[in-house]
């Protein structure tokens, strides 16, 4: 029996092509400044907290809503950690636990109003944005707390253990190379398993050349990324946090009942209710989760900066929301992926990084990011109209 053939979903892989294209454009414009190992490391460290927020924001977007308060909660949790360590000489772990507890409480606060009092998420999270920023200024008294202890800054600014050898005109971290090998093997094994399952059940297969090209591009990205890190100081600790969170939430959204309930809620809330899903409970845990991830991002940001500042997290909610939409999440909810949100976050990060290296002012950068966001949403809306 002849096997069915189907082309790859370009919407799914188009974001990877866009990521590469934007990166190459800025490589030309900046004469290769964004290709250096140091800059690749900076991309990871500077965008780690945006990735963390984008993961949580995706769950909100899947319900057809957003959370405008995440930037303020980032600042509030980072401020609480800084005050405990600097003013009260508390242990780093005490500060982290308190910061996480604050994020949890704020998330539950928003969840109660959204899920059980039926207040629109836009209004509730706008309120938490204003209150969170006000509380941050009140706690810090408009001052910066720092420098924070070295064991705390390790979270956002230090590296995993390395094993370096001399290589060419510099050094090479073999730990980073080993991780690249493991990731490459995992990718290939996953692809072979997918093909085997599709053949077993006579599902449609993409042409071999498309699959090979897709995997070749993915392997190139993996090796380019890890090789550059290997040529610098190895793997940043924040990268480990990101990978763990991505794996956890990718599993939740694709393999669990809770994940399927979020998609069902975003697709059609009335139908979800009729099918027996407690949509109030789903809303509650989604926004509670967003509060916890905002706290984690606040810890990472303050550790990266080595201080707690009143202006921390300013505008982060916009970057997180934009990351989800650029990564392919549907405006109306019910469609999107964790991987897409992560790629969208790095698209925003590469834009920020490239425009800064090229010397564009912050006002021009905002215009460009706004245009990219508008373009991504427009493409999503127009594609859905054509499919009707």
Phi, psi of 165 (to 5 degrees): -130, 155
What's the pLDDT at 2? 47
Q: Is the dihedral of CA 58, 59, 61, 65 positive or negative?
A: negative
Q: Answer yes or no: are the C-beta atoms of 253 and 341 closer than 8 Å.
A: no
**What gap in Å lies between CA 282 and CA 290, rounded to an integer?**
12
Mean pLDDT, the chain, as a whole number? 91
Residues 69 and 127 in one domain: yes
pLDDT class for 15, splitting at 50, 70, 90? confident
pLDDT > 90 fraction of the chain, expressed in percent and rounded: 72
Asked if residues 284 and 112 have their Cβ atoms less than 8 Å apart, the reply is yes
Residue 166 forms part of a structural domain? yes
Instruction: Name the β-bridge partners of 164.
Output: 173
User: CB count, 10 Å around CB of 109?
Assistant: 18
For residue 98, pLDDT over 80 is answered with yes
Q: Are residues 180 and 302 in the same domain?
A: no
* Mean pLDDT, residues 194-211: 84
Q: Where are the alpha helices (DSSP H) in 63-173?
A: 70-86, 92-111, 121-140, 150-157
Residues 154 and 185 in one domain: no
Percent of the chain exceeding pLDDT 70 equals 95
* Residue 227 covered by a domain: yes
pLDDT confidence of residue 1: 43
Tokens 């370096």 belong to 164
pLDDT in tens, 344-381: 999 999 999 999 999 888 888 889 888 888 887 787 77
Q: Tens digit of pLDDT for each residue in 151-172?
A: 999 999 999 999 999 888 889 9
278, 338, 56, 224: CA torsion to nearest 10: 170
**Average of pLDDT values for 250-273?**
93
**C-alpha span between 154 and 320 (Å, rounded):** 24
Whether 80 and 227 share a structural domain = no
**Same domain, yes or no, for 230 and 92?**
no
Q: Which conformational region is residue 173 in: left (phi greater than 0), alpha (psi within -120 to 50 degrees), or beta?
A: beta
Domain count, the chain: 2
Cα 73 to the center of its chain, rounded Å? 16
pLDDT at 125: 97
Same domain, 181 and 308: no
Q: How far apart are CA 355 and CA 342, in angstroms?
A: 20
Q: What is the mean pLDDT of residues 175-197?
A: 94
Cβ-count burial 343-373 (b if 16+ within 10 Å, e if not): bbbbbbbbbbbbbbbbebeeeebeeebeebb
pLDDT at residue 375, as a whole number: 82
Range of the structural domain that residue 86 is part of: 61-158+239-312+331-337
Q: What's the pLDDT score for residue 10? A: 56
- Residues whose CB falls within 8 Å of the CB of residue 117, separated by 6 or more in sequence, listed in order: none
pLDDT, tens digit, 9 for 90 and up, residues 273-298: 999 999 999 999 999 999 999 999 99
| pLDDT band per the 50, 70, 90 thresholds, residue 4 | low
pLDDT at 215 over 70: yes
Average pLDDT over residues 300-313: 95
């Amino acid at each position: 029996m002849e096997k069915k053939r189907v082309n790859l979903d370009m919407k799914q892989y188009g974001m990877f092509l866009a990521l590469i294209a934007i990166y190459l454009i800025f490589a030309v414009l900046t004469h290769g400044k964004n290709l250096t190992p140091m800059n690749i490391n900076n991309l990871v460290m500077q965008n780690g907290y945006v990735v963390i927020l984008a993961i949580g924001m995706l769950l909100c977007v899947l319900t057809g809503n957003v959370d405008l308060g995440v930037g303020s909660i980032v600042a509030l949790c980072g401020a609480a950690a800084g005050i405990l360590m600097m003013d009260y000489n508390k242990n780093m772990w005490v500060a982290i636990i308190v910061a996480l507890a604050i994020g949890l409480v704020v998330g539950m606060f928003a969840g109660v109003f959204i899920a059980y009092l039926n207040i629109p998420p836009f209004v509730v999270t706008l309120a938490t944005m204003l209150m969170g920023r006000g509380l941050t200024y009140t706690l810090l008294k408009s001052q910066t707390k720092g420098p924070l202890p070295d064991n705390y800054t390790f979270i956002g600014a230090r590296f995993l253990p390395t094993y370096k050898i001399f290589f060419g005109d510099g050094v090479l971290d073999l730990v980073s190379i080993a991780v690249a090998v493991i990731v490459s093997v995992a990718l290939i094994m996953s692809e072979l398993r997918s093909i085997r399952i599709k053949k077993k059940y006579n599902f449609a297969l993409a042409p071999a050349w498309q699959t090979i090209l897709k995997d070749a591009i993915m392997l190139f990205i993996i090796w380019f990324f890890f090789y550059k890190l290997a040529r610098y100081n190895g793997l940043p600790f924040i990268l480990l946090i990101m990978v763990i969170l991505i794996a956890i939430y990718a599993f939740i959204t694709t393999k669990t009942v809770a994940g399927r309930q979020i998609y069902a809620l975003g697709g059609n809330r009335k139908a979800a209710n009729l099918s027996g899903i407690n949509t109030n409970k789903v809303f509650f845990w989604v926004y509670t989760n967003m509060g916890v991830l905002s706290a984690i991002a606040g810890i990472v940001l303050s550790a990266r900066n080595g201080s707690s500042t009143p202006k921390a997290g300013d505008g982060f909610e916009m970057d997180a929301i934009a990351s989800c939409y650029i990564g392919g999440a549907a405006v109306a909810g019910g469609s999107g992926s964790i991987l897409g949100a992560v790629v969208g976050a790095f698209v925003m990060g590469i834009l920020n990084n490239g425009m800064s290296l090229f010397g564009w002012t912050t006002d021009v950068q905002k215009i460009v990011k706004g245009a990219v966001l508008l373009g991504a949403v427009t493409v999503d809306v127009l594609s859905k109209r054509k499919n009707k």
